[in-house]
Amino acid sequence: MVAEDRARRRLAAIVAADVAGYSRLVGADEEGTLARLKALRRELVDPKIAEHSGRIVNTTGDGLLIEFGSAVDAFRCVLEIQRAMTSRESGLPENRRLAFRIGVNVGDIVVDGEDILGDGVNVAARLEQLAEPGGICISARAYEDVRGRLDLDVQDIGEQTLKNIERPIRVYRIAVHAAGATPPIPRCRSRTSPRSPCCRSRTCRAIPSRIISATAWSRM
């Protein structure tokens, strides 16, 4: 029985994503929004997930829960998707753009057939809710796995209390720039605001650098 229980658990990188303002977009143009989202999945999202060895575990009307064996693969995938979407939607009025909010966590999961469950999944779903449209929020555990391996523009937003999660989770917000765009040069704000989050970050520098800038979601 113990061996059987262990076989149903594994460590994974979990991605939760949904379309920001989806209900509003559908209300304004139902057929057009559904067709655009379907094309987006077919032409960009699903191929990128396959390219980075991910597995779509579950879908809702506008959301995805994805499992990766590697945090680096997960991040490369979501960064490429977000950058491509920023470029793809840039020609549309802001109130018509499709933009994903994405949360990424690394944690232990419980495997139930093709589904995955557990605290690691729940944290990813809550991180997605903290993300801005077109942005990514990640847990400290996920960040440690990719730190130094990918060129990220990251903001440490400190420990956050997430709904139905017992312990506070340290969260990092990833700024996403359109493909080919040059990210802005971050600057330390300590001279004007000693208590700013930037100055509390261990990776804050006063020179150009990198700032360390779902499944059954409806049932949670």
- Per-residue pLDDT tens for 94-148? 889 999 999 999 999 999 888 889 889 999 999 999 999 999 999 999 999 988 8
Q: What is the mean pLDDT of the chain?
A: 80
pLDDT of residue 202: 40
pLDDT of residue 6: 54
Of 31-45, 156-170, 193-207, the range with the lowest mean pLDDT is 193-207
Report whether pLDDT(16) > 60: yes
Which SS3 state, helix, strand or coil, does residue 16 take?
A: strand
pLDDT of residue 106: 95
Report whether pLDDT(39) > 60: yes
Report whether pLDDT(77) > 70: yes
- Delimit the domains of the chain by residue range: 2-219
Which SS3 state, helix, strand or coil, does residue 62 take?
A: coil
Q: How confident is the model at residue 5 (pLDDT cuts 50, 70, 90)?
A: low
Burial class (CB in 10 A: 0-12, 13-18, 19+), 210: middle
Tokens 């990220």 sit on residue: 152
Q: How confident is the model at residue 4 (pLDDT cuts 50, 70, 90)?
A: low
CATH of region 2-219 = 3.30.70.1230
Quickly list DSSP for 140-194.
HHHHHHHTTTS--EEEEEEEE--TT-SS-EEEEEEE---TTPPPPPP---TTT-T
Q: How confident is the model at residue 203 (pLDDT cuts 50, 70, 90)?
A: very low
The predicted-structure confidence for 142-197, as pLDDT tens digits, reads as follows 999 988 877 778 889 888 888 878 888 899 998 886 654 444 434 433 333 334 44
Query: How far is Cα of residue 158 from the mean position of the Cα atoms in its chain?
Result: 17
The residue ranking higher by pLDDT, 24 or 175, is 24
Which SS3 state, helix, strand or coil, does residue 61 take?
A: coil
